[in-house]
Structures are given as C-alpha cells and as structure tokens.
Amino acid sequence: MSDQVTPPPVAEQARVEADAAATAAAPRITLLTRVSEVRNLGLVGVLAILGIIGAITADTFWTRSNLLTILQQASVIGVISVGMTFVIIGGGIDLSVGKVMALASVWSTTVATQSYGPVVMVLCALLVGMGAGLVNGLLIAYGQLVPFIATLAMLAAARGLAERISKKQTQLVTQDAINNLATTKPLGISLLVWIFAVVAVVGWIVLNRTTYGRRTFAIGGNLEAARRLVEAASLEARQAITALRTGRVSWEEFTRTLGAFADEFANNHDVEVRLTAKGQVARIDADLQAEVLRLLQETFSNAIRHGGARVLNVEVDAAAGALEISVRDDGRGFDPHAALAGPGVGLKSIGERLGRRAGTLRLISAEGQGAVVRGRLPLVSQPPGLAA
C-alpha cells in the first residue's frame, strides 16, 4: 500500500502545466465554444431580421434620426441591463429592476422632492435603488430566500408603492437641469445615449479587467471554485503579512499560525482538522512557513474534494535539520502513480514546489483506505536537487 513518489524535475513544471491545460481546454474548444458562438450568431441573426422587417414596413426605419431615437429610448433600459449582467453572470436573477426604476423615478419627481432641486432628486433616485437592492441582498444572503422569490416580492412592493405615491397620475418634471438630460445632444447624439455608452464600457472593463469581475464569473460558473479562490486570497494575505516581518518566526509563532489556519479551514468546510506539533527549533524562515501553509492548503483541498475526507490528521515534526509534514485523511484513497500520471496538476505542483526547495514528497494510499501525504523540507536552504 506504500509508494515512494519522487517529485518531477523543476524543468518539467512548464511542460506539465501546459499539457494539463491543453487536456482540460480541449472539450471547451470543441463543444462549449461552439455552442457560445452559435448563441451569439443567433442574437445577431434576430437583430438582422428585425432590421429587415423594419426596413420593409417603414421607409424611414434606417434613417439617422430614427436610429438615434431608438438608441435614446433604449438607453435607460441599457444602463439597467449592464447592472443585470453582473447579477446574471454571478448566477442570480432580479425580477424587480423595472419596478424599482419606476419607484425611483416617481419618488424623485414628486412636487416635494423637486422643490429641493436637481441634486436632491438624483440622490433620492439613487437611494431608492440602493435601498431596494439592499433589501433584496439581505433577504437572499441572510434570509436564505431564493432570488426569484425575493425579487418577485420586491417587484410587487415597488409597483404598489410607486402607484400609491403617484396616485396613478403622470408626474411632470419642472427642473430644467433634469429635462436637459433628455434634450442635450453632444455631437448630435442624445446625452442619454452617451451615458449609456460610458456605463457599458465601464461595465465591460470591470467584468473583464478586474479581480472583482473574474470573481463574479467564478461565482456564477462554480461556487466551490469561487470559495477556493477566496481561501487562496486569504492565504496570500497571511503570507504577505508574514513576509513583512523580520524574515524568521519562532517555533511558537509557526505552530500558532498553522493552528489558526487549520481551525479556519475546518470551520469553512465543516471538517475536523487535528494538528500535532513535535520537536522544536529556535526559528523558521518566513518563506518556509509560507510554503508549509501552501502545502496544507492544497493537500486539504484535494482530500475533501477528491477523496471526500471528513477528518484530517496533521503532524509537523522538526528533527534532524528538516521539517516533516504529514497529512492523513479518512477519505476514499487513490492510486498514487495513477494520480500523478493523470491530467490533474495538484499533486504534481506540490511535488515540484517541494523539489525546488530540495524537499521530497511521499504518497501512501490505496483505494478505500484513505491517504497520507508526507512532505519533507530542509530547515536550511539548499540548491534544488540535493534532497535525500
């Protein structure tokens, strides 16, 4: 049942990661990408058909004035759709946006609100929208309501409140500054269209060029992957704080850090983590502590994700000039050689990182008998390849 696994050479890292990425990406290129392309082409086709119908039924459809009018009428809904894009990509839904918009416009254009001027009108509309969004968020995140139900209730509430405020009558805007938003036309194009264009560009940048956008995609595509992303960010923050110290930590600080990490992981994943520290050294390099935390992070994640482990026993021992870390789980177990030969990069990356620090990795496992991952790192930095 025991197998000694030697980590692959450091030079193989790029090739291993590239091969794994190519293996994982192949199905997406042949299936998901094609489906996405067909969907996008379908939207373009529908738009083209509507344009043809418009041209047939009205000679003025493709005129510049008519197209600008369509853009102006669609600009308000367009701004809302940018926000809805974030919600839908994140895996949610909001049915109340239309009625919340109506409530915000009604509330901000009452005679009483208009008497305070255009700035207060804008602030009122923003506060109404933010308040409705906050209520939706609290109901979904903390009230554990399904987004469909929570936003459907907000839709009904916003519609009823808007009708009560307006008494089902049209409200006239008397503030010139507000009216000018619809009548001002820089470069011959309505200011509302320009606002929509700016919001759309900003939304695209946030989604595609920021960490927040990537995490929004992650949450919508895979909630577990998003949770791991947050855990990795938390680990990086702890490592950055450690790096700001003197460069060396005491054995007590080291074991306290490992204990805090184990407790946090156990609470976040509803598993039991038992940590035992043996031996003692005066001080440990901060980068070695960071490497141990990274090793535990990946080993724990693999154990519960692939092995279904519920109990993780961790032993850390400092002896004979080396730091030995052992993680034993009660999961399903696996074939070590098959795991390293497969497309996954988890165990391979662990072995490669230990190898870069002249360390070794040993895997002991069999199907149905749990697994033991043992890593050994020298307490004194050595050139790679000198590990026993």
Q: Residues 113-137: what's their mean pLDDT?
A: 93
Confidence (pTM): 0.51
Burial 230-263 (b: 16+ CB within 10 A, else e): ebeeebeebbeebeeeeeebebebbbebbeebbe
Are 65 and 206 within one domain? yes
Task: Read off the tokens for 258.
Answer: 């490992």
Are 68 and 186 within one domain? yes
Are 49 and 169 within one domain? yes
In a domain, 384, yes or no: no
User: Which of 189, 217, 245 delimits the end of a domain?
Assistant: 217
Residue with the larger pLDDT of the pair 22 and 56: 56
Burial 151-181 (b: 16+ CB within 10 A, else e): bbbbbebbbebbeeebeeeebebebeebeee
Q: How far apart are CA 193 and CA 314, in angstroms?
A: 60
Q: Which residues pair with 277 in a beta bridge?
A: 316
Q: What residues make up the domain containing 372?
A: 2-8+223-378
Are 74 and 173 within one domain? yes
In a domain, 289, yes or no: yes
The string of pLDDT tens digits covering residues 348-359 is: 777 887 888 888
Confidence of residue 319 (pLDDT cuts 50, 70, 90): confident
Q: Are strands 322-329 and 283-285 parallel, antiparallel or unpaired?
A: unpaired
pLDDT given at position 126: 94
Are 245 and 266 within one domain? yes
**CA-based nearest residue to 299, from 282, 314, 283, 319:** 314
In a domain, 20, yes or no: no
Collapsing DSSP to helix, strand or coil, 388 comes out as coil
User: Which of 217, 242, 267 delimits the end of a domain?
Assistant: 217
In a domain, 275, yes or no: yes
Q: Show Cβ contacts of residue 214 under 8 Å, excluding neighbours closer than 6 positions.
A: none
Q: Which residues pair with 322 in a beta bridge?
A: 319, 378
Phi, psi of 284 (to 5 degrees): -130, 140
The string of pLDDT tens digits covering residues 200-217 is: 999 999 988 888 887 787
Residue with the larger pLDDT of the pair 129 and 248: 129
Longest dimension (CA), the chain: 89
User: Which of 190, 217, 244 delimits the end of a domain?
Assistant: 217
Q: Are strands 311-319 and 272-279 parallel, antiparallel or unpaired?
A: parallel
Are 133 and 267 within one domain? no
Q: How far apart are CA 142 and CA 381, in angstroms?
A: 48
Identify whether the C-beta of residue 277 lies closer than 8 Å to the C-beta of residue 325: no
Flag whether pLDDT at 85 surpasses 70: yes
Task: Read off the tokens for 307.
Answer: 């092995």
Are 211 and 110 within one domain? yes
Identify whether the C-beta of residue 207 lies closer than 8 Å to the C-beta of residue 86: yes
Q: How far apart are CA 386 and CA 119, in angstroms?
A: 70
In a domain, 88, yes or no: yes
Are 155 and 243 within one domain? no
Q: Are strands 322-329 and 272-279 parallel, antiparallel or unpaired?
A: unpaired
The string of pLDDT tens digits covering residues 295-306 is: 888 888 888 888
pLDDT, averaged across the chain: 80
Structurally, the chain folds into a number of domains equal to 2
In a domain, 22, yes or no: no
- For tokens 């460069």, the residue is 247
**CA-based nearest residue to 294, from 380, 251, 383, 232:** 232
Q: How far apart are CA 362 and CA 200, in angstroms?
A: 52
Cα-based angle 334, 335, 339 (whole degrees, multiple of 5): 90
Flag whether pLDDT at 240 surpasses 80: no
Are 99 and 228 within one domain? no
Are 59 and 127 within one domain? yes
- For tokens 């990408």, the residue is 33
Are 163 and 307 within one domain? no
Q: In one letter, which amino acid is 107?
A: W
In a domain, 34, yes or no: no
Strands of the 311-319 sheet, one edge to the other: 2-3, 360-365, 371-378, 322-329, 311-319, 272-279
In a domain, 182, yes or no: yes
pLDDT given at position 40: 61
Flag whether pLDDT at 174 surpasses 90: no
Are 206 and 75 within one domain? yes
